[in-house]
Amino acid sequence: MSHLKVLFGAQASVLRTRQFKLLLLGNVNAALGTVLVSPLLDSLTGPFAVSDVRIGLLMTAFTAPSVVGIPVVGMVSDRVGRKAVLVSGLLLFGLSGAAVALTTDFRVALALRMLQGVGYAGITPVIITAIGDLYDGSREATAQGLRFASSGLSQAAFPLLAGLVVGLAWQYPFAIYLLAVPAAGLVAVAFEEPRPTPESEPSASDAAPDGGSAPDGLAYVRSLLRLCLHPKIGAVLVAFTVPAFLYMAFLTYNSFLVVRVLDSSPGVAGVLTTVVSLIYALTASQAGRISDYFGSRVIPLVVGSLCMGGGLSLAAMAGSVPVAMLGIAVMGTGIGLAFALLRSVLTRLAPEQFRGGLVGVGESVIRLANTIAPVALGWLVAVFGPMTGPNLAIRYSLLVVGVGGAAVGVVAMLAARAAAPVTGR
């Protein structure tokens, strides 16, 4: 136990619990939804007989269903339990993802990727919610940080494996998704459904702001929407958009910045992506320790916003690859803090009866920001282009997004701190 405490802080004992190990196992699989396919896209144009432009739809087909699906699945998990939804999500994710290898019809592949996206909606948000059910305080912050760290590590490792086996046959990388099937079996057999403790039982005002203790159907939806519109929760949801938007902005224009602006190679662009994943994984693993040190999540989240925006801005204006890498490392530190601690904040603000639904809304906000970011960056580049030329347009667009993201993140967290408490919490 002592070595875990040294590495991850006083609450590292969560790593020894069977419940948390099972949740991490499911989380490692879900993290592969996009990063496993991204390095394969060029190799898939031939088998599916589509253009470079159309092959990107394999990414969109996966992410699109989750924008709507995640909040719905979150509400379902509040009604039927976390375990049933998690097992179903893992099975659908693994089987539909692996089935892509069985077809060369692009329309069928897109349909399978959409099904896989629906499966994803039943994994990550449910895991985040279940961690909130199982743990509290800095222990929960540590668990959320370690969960996010496991995502970063798997996103750094498995794409390398996919890049190796795709040389043997384009179908082989999709077989990696089958790892989700035994994970589903282990969760089904060994995971114990989190139960409310007497101390965490929601009051009537928690359960249904309009009266009653167990809203059904439309009453549940109305109560959940009312929670989302609460100033404190609304500010936290706004803060969710910042790491998601900035990270996707980086991923979208990383290769353009490195290859075109800094006159380097695609391989170096890949190194920057790996640096972000490793840094945010390392930082997220320390989230509980950091929040304990400050005695608050607000200060680390404000610092995280400044790191994200400042790091991206530094990379945007860098005159060399090492300086850009330094900026991306600073950005990764902010992303690790933000994603780990924001999810911890949201699960603690949510009345237990609405935790799955509210976490689902938060994850859907992240997906929406991911979807908007490439479009917004493209618009900014188009605006700056005629005035500055293409290279400076990329720099200035990333700089605007970095500075703006930092400002939004800081203001959102300060607003959340100043807002009145959520009723009954």
Domains and CATH numbers, the chain: 8-190 (1.20.1250.20), 217-419 (1.20.1250.20)
Q: What is the reported pTM?
A: 0.74
The per-residue pLDDT for range 47-59, each reduced to its tens digit, is 999 886 577 788 7
Query: What's the whole-number mean pLDDT along residues 409-414?
Result: 96
Q: Which tokens hold the place of 194?
A: 């989190």
Q: Is the pLDDT of residue 196 over 80?
A: no
Query: What's the whole-number mean pLDDT along residues 103-123?
Result: 93
Give pLDDT, residue 68: 80
Give pLDDT, residue 255: 74
The per-residue pLDDT for range 265-316, each reduced to its tens digit, is 767 777 787 788 888 888 888 877 888 788 778 899 999 999 999 999 999 9
Q: Is the pLDDT of residue 3 over 70?
A: no
129 within 8 A of 216, measured Cβ to Cβ: no
Q: What is the mean pLDDT of the chain?
A: 83
Give pLDDT, residue 103: 93
Q: Is the pLDDT of residue 5 over 80?
A: no
Give pLDDT, residue 216: 62
